[in-house]
Chains A and B, each alone.
Chain A
Amino acid sequence: ETGVTQTPRHLVMGMTNKKSLKCEQHLGHNAMYWYKQSAKKPLELMFVYNFKEQTENNSVPSRFSPECPNSSHLFLHLHTLQPEDSALYLCASSQGETAAGGYTFGSGTRLTVV
């Protein structure tokens, strides 16, 4: 148990489907993050939330829609995705203004778009 739980672990969806990824942490952290990890590419930061307010959106296409109802939960709503969106989606959390303690990551959701 890493302290950050992501569900589902695996997801296969068609390009016309709508699905959601869920992330939950009970570490008392204030910041939460979505990352995309594609094969042979660096980690891509998608969104940052601090105390449930979005502080960063790295030009992510609108087919990805984040939601952060409170500091413990983070969602990523997916719709009309493309095959190139297939990747490992990682959620992380941290405490404080500078993430000086580092991130705690979830185990990720392996997404395949068919």
Chain B
Amino acid sequence: AQSVTQLGSHVSVSEGALVLLRCNYSSSVPPYLFWYVQYPNQGLQLLLKYTSAATLVKGINGFEAEFKKSETSFHLTKPSAHMSDAAEYFCAVTFSGGSNYKLTFGKGTLLTVNP
């Protein structure tokens, strides 16, 4: 069965500092991996996705993530945090083959950016 684990329910950084949000997955077949962002009282917005092409994926708002099969990880990074990055971030996985139609989401990581 597929699953994702997001390490740290809350991450706090200073403005201008590196953002690192961790995600590890479990999947017995090649995964498709996603990062979503959610601002208060909004839906989830797709930041980026890995679908077996380049292992380093660039997304919107300066975020990127690297797929590391050996570590079963898909961590999200941004070199310099901005106040507007404060939000909740969700990692999600589905897998190639099968017909289950759905993503499995992590529990989310709340990012706080301090001035």
Chain A positions within 8 Å of B, measured between CB atoms, are 2, 4, 6, 31, 33, 42-43, 45, 48, 50, 55-56, 88, 90, 92, 94, 97-108, 110
Q: Determine the main DSSP class of A at the interface with B.
A: strand
- Once bound together, how far apart are the Cα atoms of A108 and B45, in whole Å? 12
Chain B minimum-CB-distance residue to A90: B43
Residue in B32, B41, B90 whose CB lies within 8 Å of A110:
B41
Interface residues on B, range: 20 to 34
Q: Determine the main DSSP class of B at the interface with A.
A: loop
Given contacts A48-B101, A103-B103, contact A98 B94 (CB under 8 A): yes
Chain A minimum-CB-distance residue to B98: A98
- Once bound together, how far apart are the Cα atoms of A94 and B46, in whole Å? 12
Given contacts A42-B107, A43-B90, A108-B43, contact A97 B49 (CB under 8 A): no
B84 lies within 8 A of chain A by Cβ: no
A contact residues around B99 at 8 Å (CB): 97-98
